[in-house]
Amino acid sequence: MSASSSSVVEAELYSVSASPLSLDSSVFFCDATSSCVKDSLDFFIINVGGSRYVLSQELLASHPETRLGKLACSSRDSALELCDDADFLENEFFFDRNSQTFQ
């Protein structure tokens, strides 16, 4: 096999978008917001130092790398590792922080 024919084969291999070698394949790409499904309300009350903020799950889940984004996608047990306290009946999560810094 000549060098030019092997490069054509390689180009064809990498041009297939459904290929497992493609960066678009599910091996490399995962849409975090689609995998984030919470079975509760579609909003969160974030209580920081006594100041309450109502934030949508969609907003929080759009930032999965942040603490609040992880909170939006977490189970009850792991939520308690991300905040200082929680009221799951009201979907309120407490952070013992300075509220002025949060704003």
CATH value at residue 55: 3.30.710.10
Q: Tell me, yes or no, whether 45 and 74 share the same domain.
A: yes
Query: What is the span of the domain harbouring residue 61?
Result: 41-102
Tell me the residue length of the chain. 103
* Number of domains forming the structure of the chain: 2
The verdict on residue 90 lying in a domain is: yes
| Residue owning tokens 């969160």 | 44
Looking at per-residue confidence, does 34 or 48 come out higher? 48
- The β-bridge partners of 56 are 43
Confidence of residue 29 (pLDDT cuts 50, 70, 90): very low
Looking at per-residue confidence, does 56 or 38 come out higher? 56
Give 13-26 pLDDT, tens digit per residue: 444 444 444 444 44
What 3-state DSSP class applies to 84?
A: coil
The verdict on residue 9 lying in a domain is: yes
How far apart CA 43 and CA 12 sit, in angstroms, is 47
The verdict on residue 35 lying in a domain is: no
Note whether 74 and 82 are within 8 A (CB).
yes
| Residue owning tokens 């991300």 | 82
Q: What is the pTM of this model?
A: 0.61
